[in-house]
Amino acid sequence: MQRFTKLCRQLIKTIMGYLKGNVAFLIMVFLILFIFEVDHVVSGSMEPTLMTGDYAIFTKVRFGYKPNRGDIIGFNHDGEHWVKRVIGIPGDMIVIKDMYVYVNGEKIDEPYLENVGITYGGDNTIFAVPEDEIFVLGDNRLASYDSRYWNEPYVPVSYVTSKYRFTIYHAKTKATTFEEEIL
């Protein structure tokens, strides 16, 4: 009888071990499917914030998400997945003048840029951000293909899939110009 009790305890212990492992696995699968996504950064357009080769955690966004200026977002555009920073939200007027970005007439503070005052493209063009759309730029203004250059410069908010939270692996590689990026 003692041997049977010992076997039962061992069996229960083994089953509980499997259950704990499976529950942890199921929680992880749930989080990945519905809450988080891991993105591998494949371009230098967001340097120095996100380096080529980095792995970053993004939270998935749902219907009704309202982006804020400064958010780093993942979105689908022209059949590709992109990661950029939100510069303009619905109703904003964006102007790139003397290589600085102005939102609603005010030069914006961009501490995340490695080289401030090097925003080329769209000089003195006024970008009036429509309702339910956003204007986005990469942090590496010399190597980012973004709202400044697209035929349709605005990204519908409905295209936004995720919001950046943190980097889990920093690759520490760097592409400094658009030419290096495409060669």
Q: Could you list the active site residues?
A: 45, 84
Q: Which residue has the tokens 């749930």?
A: 30
Alpha-carbon distance of 171 to 167, in angstroms, equals: 10
Alpha-carbon distance of 59 to 29, in angstroms, equals: 14
Alpha-carbon distance of 162 to 84, in angstroms, equals: 11
Q: What's the number of CA atoms in the CB half-sphere (13 Å) around residue 181?
A: 19
Per DSSP, the three-state class of 68 is coil
Q: Which residues pair with 39 in a beta bridge?
A: 56
Neighbours of 51 (CB within 10 A): 20
Query: Cα separations (Å) of 61 from 18, 29, 87, 94, 144?
Result: 33, 17, 18, 25, 24
Among candidate residues 149, 139, 83, the one with its CA nearest the CA of residue 108: 139
Q: Which residue has the tokens 């102005």?
A: 102
